[in-house]
């Protein structure tokens, strides 16, 4: 990416931010402070070279499965007095969050190493419900219009990558169930990067792996943390409204929000890109 400089807004002021990977990774301690970055239009991406996707909640609505798993494991350790967490609590406090955040917010009284191990070993903690079988038994369906969009991406010869905060086994399993394992050229796992979303590291890793520039790519994201991560690297983000309220995504910096991949707003944006190419 060189040493190019671009501008962002924080509160009411424009500031310049170094564009090199090292400066980005060193300097952005709290991407939440940069949530007011100016929104980018897809029309500015010509020629479009790549489209990136989050996995959970974007390619399919897997949140109910994760809610069930977290509800079981937290209830087992007496969280909230043993009262099961609600779907609303899961969406607001757990969905899309990285393990370090969950350690601090859900288990603040635990020794940090113990809390980390609890979430890292989530799959073993949920052995009673057998996450893999639960996931498969739900027969996850892709978000409406995804198959058609993937065909369009292939026809356009675009690069594609999946970028997720989910553990690698979960991400790979979902892609397999959706028959998308061979569609994506790269799979980036947030916890395998320096920092997970909402930090920009996972998308910087995807750019490097696909040899991309933020000037010619955009991403689909359903979570606020994911939107912030995409915006943090100066890339347009299309919010997917499977669960989180549309306003939360827009406030985080999404260019626009769609209900699914058949949404007329997306169709018009892609047709506009084709005309300008």
* Lookup result for tokens 């040493």: 3
CATH code assigned to 5-61+142-276: 3.40.50.1000
Cα–Cα distance between 178 and 153 in angstroms, integer? 16
Catalytic residue, candidates 21, 23, 56, 63: 56
> In what helix (H) or strand (E) does residue 15 lie, and over which residues does it extend?
strand 13-18
Helix axes 224-232, 201-210, angle to 10 degrees: 60
Catalytic residue, candidates 54, 201, 222, 263: 54
Grouping H, G, I as helix, E, B as strand and the rest as coil, residue 161 is: strand
User: Which positions ≥6 away from 1 have C-beta within 8 Å?
Assistant: 19, 20, 21, 207, 213, 214
Beta strands in 112-180 (DSSP E): 159-164
Q: What is the pLDDT of residue 88?
A: 87
Beta strands in 91-168 (DSSP E): 159-164
Q: What is the pLDDT of residue 255?
A: 96
Q: What is the pLDDT of residue 232?
A: 96
Cα–Cα distance between 106 and 233 in angstroms, integer? 29
First to last CA, the chain: 23
Q: What is the pLDDT of residue 59?
A: 97
Active site residue 201: no
Task: Compute how many other C-beta atoms are within 10 angstroms of the C-beta atom of residue 148.
Answer: 12
Entry pTM: 0.72
Active site residue 54: yes
Q: What is the pLDDT of residue 134?
A: 61
Residue 188 scores a pLDDT above 50: yes
User: Which of the two residues, 10 and 217, has the higher pLDDT score?
Assistant: 217
3-class DSSP string for 5-57? EEEEEECCEEEEEECCHHHHHHHCCCHHHHCCCCCCCHHHHCCCCEEEECCEC
Confidence bin at 21 (pLDDT 50/70/90): very low
Grouping H, G, I as helix, E, B as strand and the rest as coil, residue 125 is: helix
Confidence bin at 201 (pLDDT 50/70/90): very high
- DSSP secondary structure letter of residue 142: B
Confidence bin at 28 (pLDDT 50/70/90): very low
């Amino acid at each position: 990416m060189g040493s190019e400089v671009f501008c962002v807004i924080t509160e009411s002021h424009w500031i310049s931010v170094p564009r090199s990977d090292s400066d980005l990774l060193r300097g952005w301690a709290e991407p939440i402070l940069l949530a007011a970055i100016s929104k980018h239009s897809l029309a500015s991406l010509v020629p479009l070279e790549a489209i990136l996707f989050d996995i959970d909640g974007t390619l399919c609505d897997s949140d109910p499965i994760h809610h069930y798993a977290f509800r079981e494991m937290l209830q087992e350790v007496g969280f909230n007095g043993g009262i099961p967490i609600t779907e609303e609590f899961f969406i607001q406090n757990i969905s899309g969050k990285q393990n370090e955040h969950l350690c601090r917010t859900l288990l603040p009284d635990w020794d940090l190493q113990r809390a980390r191990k609890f979430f890292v070993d989530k799959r073993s903690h949920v052995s009673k419900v057998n996450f893999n079988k639960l996931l498969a038994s739900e027969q996850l369906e892709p978000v409406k219009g995804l198959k058609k969009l993937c065909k369009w991406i292939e026809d356009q010869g675009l690069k594609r990558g999946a970028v997720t905060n989910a553990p690698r086994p979960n991400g790979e399993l979902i892609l397999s169930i959706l028959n998308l394992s061979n569609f994506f050229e790269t799979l980036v796992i947030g916890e395998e990067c320096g920092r997970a979303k909402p930090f920009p590291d996972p998308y910087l890793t995807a750019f490097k792996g696909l040899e991309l520039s933020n000037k010619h790519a955009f991403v689909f994201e359903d979570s606020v943390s994911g939107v912030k991560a995409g915006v943090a690297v100066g890339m347009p983000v299309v919010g997917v409204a499977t669960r989180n309220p549309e306003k939360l995504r827009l406030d985080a910096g999404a260019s626009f929000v769609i209900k699914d991949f058949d949404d007329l707003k997306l169709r018009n944006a892609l047709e506009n890109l084709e005309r300008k190419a």
